[in-house]
Chain A
Amino acid sequence: MALSLTNRKKVLEKKEYTFLESLYFPAIFGGMMITLKHLFKKKVTVQYPEEKKSFSKVFRGKHILKRDEQGRENCTACGLCAVACPAEAITITAAERKKGEEHLYKEEKYAAMYEINMLRCIFCGMCEEACPKDAIYLTEELTPANYDRKNFIYGKDKLVQPLGTSAHPKTYKPYVKDGKPYEYKTPVNK
């Protein structure tokens, strides 16, 4: 016997049909029974506009730059996400927090410009892993199609969590505190 790596392969034997096989009818009848079984099986169709398929728990979609519970941006522009990014999709420009901006940025340094090129991004989630400040997360949102390549470079306008929302970092749904959705007030500059 020839040497085989797994011994699992089967060599197809070409035999003459037996009389029963040459009638075709038993095989056709068997096939018809299989299709008949499918007639009563559960249908796999999802009625799209009315019914939407839920995402898997580990789905990774569009990024969000988190704010803390007082509405301040978490990001300190350390650049770890950009270093971790295998697709080199993230570009950051750091800036120093000025006096009177404490209600906007959590730490003394912040990202003046934070861009992710969604055409480069492979949604691996490495940025999320790398972030020491809990600032970047991948949500369950999709990045919609667009007519222009330049519109796929998402800046802070599209990435930062909108003010006034209290989104859960993963699901983008409101926090629940004591059975009620937890909302925080938009910070006012005093």
Chain B
Amino acid sequence: MEIMFTDKLILATIIFALSLGVAAYATWAERKLAAWFQDRIGPNRAGPFGLLQPIADGVKLFMKEEIIPADSDKFLFIVGPSLFMLTALMTSAVIPWSTPLNLGDGHLFQMQVADINIGILYVFAVVSIGVYGIMIGGWASNNKYSLLGALRASSQMISYELAMGLSIVAIIMMTGAGGMSIRNIVESQSGGLYGVEVLKGLDWNIFYQPLGFMIFIVCAFAECNRTPFDLPEAEAELGGGYHIEYSSMKLGLFLFAEYVNMFISSAVMASLYFGGYNFPGLSLLPEFWQSIAGVGVFMGKITFFIFVFMWVRWTVPRFRYDQLMTLGWKILLPLSILNIVLTGTVMLFFSK
């Protein structure tokens, strides 16, 4: 029991640091990629390749003057960004990073902070609470633009959560018993693709659920308030959106949490649809190296998805608000229901 507690503490600390580190360097990657997509070079003055840029940004944000508007609700003004950051970090608890690490003496180091049987439900629940962070922050600022931004953010996130949740239902159906645990979902993807033994480790859900994945990725973009759905922070209309009154590290928390969210949703996408830590040839490795390689592969998949997030951001222009709502309610929601029906029918007739 004690060993388990220290294990969890170590893992939680690592993941905490990792999420923040990845988020920090995602800002660097974002700027670098933005530059490359536009035929520029990007930050390259702070350290080699501008690698110290996130540190410089962080120091800058810490050093800035902390302004709390006189007319704002001071308590809620502070609660807003804290809640947003907290929920962003909490989601990582149920993600299985790899197979258990065998440290000898029968000591299995579980590469997952909490293997709860409703893992995916927990993710959705915590992500939904994240909306409160934005709402509270936007409302407490006592500024009409931040309120409008917060309203847009919450309505958008609530609308897209439905389609997102329904697209997951198909995955849960496919996984069968215990299908809500993310570890079970990942483990169900370790077999051979379409039952072919040579393609072992490639049995990823994307090959069975392409439509579901499309719905999920679009919803994930909307959930993270990323382009093309970044209406909450539409600079042109709202002058910054829900965080317009924020300064210093409270602003930093908002911006940072967005990148943490991106990291986590990439991790969720990788584990639900792209086999998590599974890859062809995983079972050939010795047990210890399986879990090490698993972490590496999983991180590779996450990095790819973060890249896709940024790639889309510098390609697709922003949606109009009515287009956003039409897409969410009239297209994605029926499509995800259709996806459930299709999955059910196929499962019934081919008894997968």
Contact = CB atoms under 8 A, between A and B. Distances in A.
A35 B37 contact: yes
B40 A32 contact: no
B314 A35 contact: yes
Nearest to A32: B315
Contact of A43 (B33, B41, B311): B41
A47 to B, nearest CB: 8
Contact of B39 (A31, A34, A36, A43): A43
Contact of A28 (B35, B38, B39, B316): B316
A116 to B, nearest CB: 38
B55 interface: no
A35 B39 contact: no
B198 interface: no
Contact of A38 (B38, B41, B214, B312): B38
Interface in B294-352: 311-312, 314-316
Nearest to A41: B39
Given A25-B214, A34-B315, 17 more contacts: A28-B312, A28-B316, A31-B315, A32-B311, A32-B312, A32-B315, A32-B316, A35-B311, A35-B314, A38-B36, A38-B38, A43-B35, A43-B36, A43-B40, A44-B40, A45-B39, A47-B41
A39 interface: yes
A32 B38 CA distance: 13
Contacts of A43: 35-36, 39-41
Nearest to A40: B36
Contacts of A41: 39
A34 B311 CA distance: 11
Contact of A36 (B214, B311, B316): B311
B286 to A, nearest CB: 38
A39 B37 CA distance: 5
Contacts of A36: 311
Contacts of A45: 39-41
A31 B316 contact: yes
B224 to A, nearest CB: 17
Interface of A: 25, 28, 31-32, 34-36, 38-39, 41-45, 47
The 4 closest A-B pairs by CB, nearest first: A45-B41, A35-B315, A31-B315, A32-B315
Interface string B1-44: 00000000000000000000000000000000101111111000
B248 to A, nearest CB: 31
Contacts of A38: 36-39
Nearest to A45: B41
Contacts of A44: 39-40
B43 to A, nearest CB: 12
A21 to B, nearest CB: 14
A182 B348 CA distance: 94
Contacts of B33: 39
Contacts of B315: 28, 31-32, 34-35
Contacts of B39: 38, 41-45
Nearest to A33: B315
A25 B335 CA distance: 14
Contacts of A25: 214
15 contacts: A25-B214, A28-B315, A31-B315, A32-B311, A32-B312, A32-B315, A32-B316, A35-B37, A35-B311, A38-B38, A42-B39, A43-B40, A43-B41, A44-B40, A45-B39
Contacts of A28: 312, 315-316
Nearest to B33: A39
Interface string B209-252: 00000100000000000000000000000000000000000000
A23 to B, nearest CB: 9
Nearest to A29: B315
Nearest to A37: B37
